[in-house]
Amino acid sequence: MNALVALCHFCELHGPRTLFCTEAVHPPSPSPPQPGSAIPGDRDREADREGEGLTMRANSSATQRADMCEGCRSLPASHPGFVSVDSETGIRYLSHQHPRQPQLFSVVRQACVRSLSCEVCPGREGPIFFGDEQHGFVFSHTFFIKDSLARGFQRWYSIVVVAMDRIYLINSWPFLLRHLRQTIQSLQDTALKVFDNEQCVCPQRAVRMNSAFSPAVFPHQRSGNAARSLTSLTQHSNLWASLHSSFSWLLKACGSRLTEKLLEGAPTEDTLVLIERQTEQEEEMSGWDCAEGGGSNPQPSQSESVQPKDFQFDDGRQEDLLGPKFKSLRHLRQVLGANDFRQLAWHVLMGNQVIWRGADPGLIQSAFNVLKALLPVGCVRAVSYSPHYEEAYRCNFLGLSPDVPIPAHVSSSEFSMLVDVLNVERGCVNPVSDDDILSLYQFNISSANTQPTDKGPTLLNKIEVALSNENLSVEVVSLCLLCLKEEWMNKVKVLFKFSKVDGRGKEDTQKVLACA
Amino acid sequence: RGPIMLFHLFNFMTCVSLSFSWASSEFDLAQIRLIVCQECERRGRQVLFDSKAIHKLDASEPNPIVTNSSEKEKPPTYQYTRPASDVNMLGEMMFGSVSMSYKGSTLKIHHIRSPPQLMVSKVFSTRFGSSTSGSTNMYESCFLSSAICSHSNPVDMPSRGHSEDGDSGIARSASLSSLLATPLPSPGSSFSSGCASSYQRRWLRSQATSLQHGPMPRWNTEEMFSLSDESCSSNPAMIRRKKIAISIIISLPEREEENHNFQEFFFSHFPLFESHMNKLKTAIERAMIVCRRIAESSQRVQVYLCRVMEALGEFRMTVWNLYMAPLISEPVWLSMISQSTERNLLCQRFLKEMSLLMDHGAKSQFLSALLTAVLTHHLAWVPTVMPSSLPPIKTACQKPASQTVDLLAKSHPYNPLWAQLGDLYGALGSPVRVCRTVVVGCRRELVQRVLYILSYFIRCSDLQEHVQPQGQMENPDNPTNPCSSQTTDPTPEKTFPPKPDPLKPTACVIEKALNPESVPGTSVEQNNDTLLTDTKSTNPSSSLESSTVRLECAEMGQECFGEDSDSVGGGLEHILANQSPLLHRVQFHIGSPRETENEGQAGDLSGAGCGRGLDRKLHQRLLTDIRRNESTDSALGDSDDEETSLQELYMATEQKEYELPLPSYHVESRASVNHFGRSLLGGYCPQYMPDFALHGISSDLRLKQCLMSDLEHTVLHPALDEPVAEALCIVADTDRLSVQVVTSQRRVCEGGRLGRDVMVSNLVHTLITSALQLYALNIASDFCVMHLEDRLQELYFKSRSLAEYLRGQTRVHVKELGLALGIESSDIPLLAAVASTHSPFVAQILL
């Protein structure tokens, strides 16, 4: 809980004192706020001091060490205090006589003084909540502890829980009351036994009745009596260590009293596929360890090993290869021209095999990288550069070196297309900028497809609109693509569920498609 | 047709109208008592109002006071009797025995044991206008003796807003909402998780309420009690040291269980109670100001009593409603995420009800309009569709639970109840807006159907409670019991491993360490002495380790933050510096000149002295870019020697703490009962209620009377405990099949209507149509609901495109959006609102 707990005592000689304080120190924030964010309410020093009030100020000077007696002290000055660490969260619970965090010192002091000498509780024992924005908010429980030597045979204490979160502190009232009562009861019971024992040995009432009252002796006596510590009142030598444990526990338990169950959206299809792949890979890896010399080793250099982190573009490898590259779909479109791009994109979306043949593997790979964005991750099987033809069931993106022949069944198929990347003969040997791909290469597109590619699908039309609008940044285009892909994936899910799972007729399928 | 109708009705009864309410027995209105007291330096304490001492006079009795009988509706007349005997004691509790000079408002809660009562008090400093200062004596005089008080001061221009100049909503929202607006990273860029905005909101809350930053007055510190319409700023000398306390005393039920239930309800719903107390306070202020204008004394008393009694009546009614009103027994969303077994059934019911409603309001597109409004303003659905990077859990709506938020809650606790309240009111966007939905209609089952459907779209997180089981509370080894070993014989076998037992090794050794006499031969005592005089040459841990005490280095610099620092001071400083920019408040915090003197003389070893040294270092090293405060520098004292010696003392005393294990504890987890997801989704209620995120009523008569002032009040005193820029209410009329949005910002609407009609978003319309078509084609209902979620996710993706498109732009035409992104104008308000949850800058460009 974002709070601290302190045990306070109203010393007969020195007034209200903080005896023992347990605070929670949180680990550094997991997410530092962005620079430039300012928190309002820069505090006004004047207002701060004014808030202290006359009583407060008079008392705050009384923290002088010379002014302390046994009753005002918990741990000896040399004691280092206690710490407990919550290993799960890294929160450290620290106990000392006074709070370690300097900004909390006056807050606790205020709480202590108010709980023991300002606020009024009927019957003097019981819970009160009080506070304001300036001094923090306090749940206080006052109580008496028996002391055979004290005036009225009892001493007055309070346990305060201080927090800035007013609402949470009030929300926690029933919880805090329940548990602090337990703690207080335990202290009172223990002290009562000690009291009873002491009274048996030496009944104080009788002593006091018999001793002649003398004004000269009285104050001296009193001051001597005032010096009893809570440890001596309870005869509990580990009292402070135990209280540290109790208070730390209270802070932890109160902070985790309520938890939220907060749901996120389902992961995108792409994420799901990647999670699946990763699991498979991990399983395979462990499989390899067992099976020695398994027959056909997959070729990781060719098959795309996609990591969830960077599935959209695996820039890492692309950087390795020198030479010009396609930077984005829009760039590709500019280079190929609207018509050729349309054809190319059409084949990609239709799931046909797209073969690029040329001497520059870097260029071809960059083309595949940008084209991949058109498809769901699960639909991408790329062999970025191969010395021989690979069948369509193995890959829908295939890069080939210039001299690799395309089998006849492929070149005559309407389900494939070929982009030949040809070097442009040029006299000039000036280093050419990467942007200027056309000055280096020429692209020949061929396919046996006879269907018109300029009509649909709607998805492609929408993609083209986004790509052709120069006002849209690359980021906007990629988000638009994401929208479109998700939209279409959702349609596909419905269609799949409808036709495959439930096995319906064509008419109903049309209806479903109309509404999805 | 009859049987079918009956079947529908039966079905409906089982799923919808089994509403429940909190109280098992009647909650008596007279159990709520109001006392207004004042305290001033000269004359001490006076009672200005006590509802227990006021009696309503029967109208049939001849009334000597009110003579004007020509009025048609006579206000009730009241008589004041002797004040109750407990008033003095209560006054003492309200103000405390020592007067505080703090100027802002103070909140107090007392528990009175017999008769069992809870007392909530707010104590305000008073504020006078320059011309009417010093005249409060008229209230107590008119209240206490009805004596003629000649003072009367008519003020001509009563303007409510004017008297609140110090804390106008605008000033407030400018401060914190701008803070809330800036630090959001765009999701995906720095968060892999979809819950970026939920996470951010919660993180900011944990920071804003963190104790580690010290007290940070947020936004209602200057709240005062106005005794005049005028601003006091013209004559500050006239401010008197006078305080007014407003106390609400609630008698607790006699029966133990009811008492317990009410208290649990009261404390978990405190923000709502407080908000209504603020409303009451405003009414009392008004009553005092208004009655002062009346010259005739007996009439003045009546006006005063009448007004305050009326406000109290309203308060009582609201509290009663909050506690007694029927609630939706099975809110669809919360049920779906909590009960995995009945999910299919729930989906089925939900779709059935939705298709019935769709058919019912088909012509006017009632459902589409309503959902457009609800999805635009109750924005908590957005995080629930933002794609996660985690695989889904089959049992929970195919959605994964947020792990980042879970981790945050553990390491940086915030109030889950607060988060839930914000969710329900849809306060996720930027600037912060809060929204409620009221469904009006005389056909009960139709209204309930609408409520049921909306309980799917108005979302919030589900709360779990972790408490000690009853039996364990009494267990002597319970961690809350510090004297366990003293009170009972420790038994060797325990079912729970609770607190460290002093008889177990660690504690035992510590005992030795603490009492060196008991262990002859240890060097602890000497060691302590050495530490005091010379920190650097001593290694305390080595000698202590010899006695097997495990010493834990408390230097956070080394341990927690991986920073090698040579002193604890450095470590602490490092933490402070690492925490957040909130840090800079520290510099104004400690060390008034007087304190400096005192502590300098005393050579105190305590935190204050060290803090000051630290503070100074912070000031010098870290705060150069922060607004310098000259007085801070001078206040810190100018003796460097003093500083260094303090620093040394600090280092000397703050050594390494003894580490004790954190007591483990056994808790029982159960679904929380007292949370807003349960209490603010109302059923078909007898009366309009200002708190509910959703509820139904039969007539909008009272709604029309109260709504505008309720919305204004929400902006001024939001129950959310965070500044709010705008309060909205969606009013869905099932009789007229109309949906309107009422806002706190627009007072006048054309044709005397409450709000503006909602433009149906085409995206929302196709989304519902699509899901319902699938349902009509007999596709499994859980698939249809999943499809609905997919389509909602599409809305989120579209909002991201929109946000990205708007990034860096200043003005964008609607037409342009249509061309560039294919966004229709009807969808823009919705998409912009969704975008504002993850990209706050959208608000500045579009809204």
Tell me: the pLDDT tens digits for B684-695? 998 899 999 999
Residue type, A11: C
Average pLDDT for B162-189: 30
| Cβ distance of B209 and A2 shorter than 8 Å | yes
| Cβ distance of B107 and A512 shorter than 8 Å | no
Question: Would you say residue B105 lies in a domain?
Answer: yes
Question: Would you say residue A162 lies in a domain?
Answer: yes
User: Nearest CA to CA, how far is B353 from chain A (Å)?
Assistant: 20
A60 and A135 belong to one structural domain:
yes
Question: Would you say residue B591 lies in a domain?
Answer: no
The proportion of chain B whose per-residue pLDDT surpasses 90, expressed as a percent, equals 30
Q: Which residues have C-beta within 8 Å of that of residue A213, sequence separation ≥ 6?
A: none
What CATH number is given to the structural domain containing B123? Answer: 3.30.450
What CATH number is given to the structural domain containing A507? Answer: 1.10.10.1730
Average pLDDT for B351-357: 94
User: Nearest CA to CA, how far is A174 from chain B (Å)?
Assistant: 7
A316 and A433 belong to one structural domain:
yes
Q: Which of B200, B483, B811 to mutate to test the interface with A (most CBs of A within 10 A)?
A: B483
B461 has pLDDT over 70 = yes
User: Searching chain B, which residue's CA lies closest to the CA of residue A498?
Assistant: B779
Question: Would you say residue A286 lies in a domain?
Answer: no
Please state the separation of Cα A176 from the chain's center in Å.
28
Boundary-marking domain end, from A454, A476, A491: A454
B239 touches A: beta carbon within 8 Å: no
Pick from A167, A257, A483: which is nearest to B466 by CB? A257
A407 and A476 belong to one structural domain:
no
B538 has pLDDT over 80 = no
What's the domain range around B284? 26-57+76-127+241-324
Q: Any idea which residue has 């002593």 for tokens? A: A207
Question: Would you say residue B101 lies in a domain?
Answer: yes
Quote the pLDDT of residue A248: 94
Quote the pLDDT of residue A66: 53
Of B337, B416, B321, B431, which Cα lies nearest the Cα of B377?
A: B431
Of A260, A263, A487, which Cα lies nearest the Cα of B380?
A: A263
Pick from B212, B529, B599: which is nearest to A101 by CB? B212
Highest-confidence segment of A228-232, B97-101, B160-164: A228-232
Chain A contact set for B555 (CB, 8 A): none
Question: Would you say residue B274 lies in a domain?
Answer: yes
A111 and A176 belong to one structural domain:
yes
pLDDT in tens, B246-290: 999 999 988 888 899 899 999 999 999 999 999 999 999 999 998
Instruction: Provide the 10 A C-beta neighbour count for residue B565.
Output: 16
pLDDT in tens, A361-386: 888 888 888 888 888 888 888 888 88
Torsion (CA) A110, A116, A121, A124 in degrees, nearest 10: 170
Question: Would you say residue B256 lies in a domain?
Answer: yes
ipTM, 2 dp? 0.80
Rounded distance between C-alpha atoms, residue B635 and residue A475, angstroms: 52
Work out the mean pLDDT of chain A and round it to a whole number. 77
A139 and A9 belong to one structural domain:
yes
A106 and A244 belong to one structural domain:
yes
User: Nearest CA to CA, how far is B454 from chain A (Å)?
Assistant: 18
Chain A contact set for B413 (CB, 8 A): 1-2, 255-256
The proportion of chain A whose per-residue pLDDT surpasses 90, expressed as a percent, equals 22
Residues in A 445-464 with any Cβ partner in B closer than 8 A: 462
Question: Would you say residue A99 lies in a domain?
Answer: yes
Q: Which of B37, B119, B204, B211 to mutate to test the interface with A (most CBs of A within 10 A)?
A: B211
A505 and A372 belong to one structural domain:
no
What's the domain range around A350? 306-454
B79 has pLDDT over 60 = yes
What CATH number is given to the structural domain containing A425? Answer: 3.40.50.12430
pTM to 2 decimal places: 0.76
Question: Would you say residue B719 lies in a domain?
Answer: no
A491 and A432 belong to one structural domain:
no
Quote the pLDDT of residue A4: 94
**Cross-strand partners of A399:** A356
Quote the pLDDT of residue B425: 96
Boundary-marking domain end, from A192, A224, A257: A257
A13 and A148 belong to one structural domain:
yes
Number of domains in chain A: 3
A448 and A473 belong to one structural domain:
no
User: Searching chain A, which residue's CA lies closest to the CA of residue B183?
Assistant: A34
Chain B contact set for A234 (CB, 8 A): 483, 486
Question: Would you say residue B100 lies in a domain?
Answer: yes
For residues B775 and B787, the answer to whether their CB atoms sit within 8 Å is no
Question: Would you say residue B32 lies in a domain?
Answer: yes
Question: Would you say residue A278 lies in a domain?
Answer: no
B653 has pLDDT over 60 = no
Peptide bond preceding A457: is omega within 30 degrees of 0, i.e. cis? Answer: yes
Quote the pLDDT of residue A479: 87
Which letter, b or e, does each residue of A200-232 get, where b requires 16 or more Cβ atoms within 10 Å of its Cβ? eeeebeeeeeeeeeeeeeeeeeeeebbbbbbbb
- Token pair of A300 as six digits: 């990781």
B236 has pLDDT over 90 = no
* Band of residue A162 on the pLDDT scale cut at 50, 70, 90: very high
B844 has pLDDT over 70 = yes
A405 has pLDDT over 50 = yes
A242 and A316 belong to one structural domain:
no
| Cβ distance of A265 and B104 shorter than 8 Å | no
Question: Would you say residue A37 lies in a domain?
Answer: no
pLDDT in tens, A429-458: 555 555 577 777 788 888 777 777 777 787
A445 and A476 belong to one structural domain:
no
Q: Strand locations in A364-480, DSSP E? A: 382-386, 397-400, 416-423, 441-447
| Cβ distance of A262 and B383 shorter than 8 Å | yes
* Band of residue B307 on the pLDDT scale cut at 50, 70, 90: very high
Number of domains in chain B: 1
Higher pLDDT, A284 or B301: B301
